[in-house]
Amino acid sequence: MVFKDMSDSEKEKLREVINRLLEVNMLVKEKEREMYAIIRRNKTDLTSYFHFLGWDLTVDERHECIYLHNQDSRLRRRLDRESTIWLLILRILYEEKR
């Protein structure tokens, strides 16, 4: 990543964005416009950075969201049957209301 061309405040904002993305795994433009814009401006460098860490950075222009995906899928959580059923019910309800 090219840090030498960035001011200290830009470095701090980028650091906050990276930590936030690692914390929540997904940013939506509607809720976090500034962070979304920072990632889009630095997309190439951030893609390389996250790829080095074993993550894929995806910028979904259609849905206006940015998310990380672990290449190894090691950080997936296994859900029990009841939780899976409830999540599927919620998804069906959501799809019907759209």
- What global pTM score does this model have? 0.69
In sign, the C-alpha dihedral spanning 9, 56, 65, 83 is negative
Spell out the alpha helix ranges (H) of the chain. 8-24, 33-41, 43-53, 81-97
48 three-class SS: helix
pLDDT in tens, 48-83: 999 998 899 999 999 999 999 887 766 667 889 999
Q: What is the pLDDT of residues 21-43, one digit of tens each?
A: 988 888 999 999 999 999 999 99
